[in-house]
Amino acid sequence: MQSTITFLAITIIDIIFGAIPFFGWILGSLVTLVGLIFWIPGMAKAYQGEYYKFPIVGEIAEKQVENFNI
């Protein structure tokens, strides 16, 4: 769930920045780089079977999962 929330937010931010000429494209590239930085350790932790929460999105994802389990 946290992966879905994280990369949905990154995609939306990237699309918004992509609409801004030049400066927005640079910011969009940085956002994409941040996504890559989150993706690599997330995949490694998942492959190892470890429980790992992303700094901000982990709490949001936990609350969403709790709401689904009601």
CB-based burial label for 2 (10 Å; 0-12, 13-18, 19+):
buried
Summarised one tens digit per residue, pLDDT across range 6-54 is 889 899 999 999 899 889 889 989 998 988 988 898 889 889 998 888 8
| pTM of structure | 0.74
Q: Burial-class residue 1 by CB neighbours within 10 Å (0-12, 13-18, 19+).
A: middle
Quote the domain boundaries for residue 49: 2-68
pLDDT, position 12 = 93
Helix (H, G, I), strand (E, B) or coil at 6: helix
Tokens 């982990």 correspond to 58
What pLDDT is recorded for position 70? Answer: 60
> Which structure tokens are listed for 35?
């996504």
pLDDT of residue 18: 87
Number of domains forming the structure of the chain: 1
Q: What is the pLDDT of residue 67?
A: 79
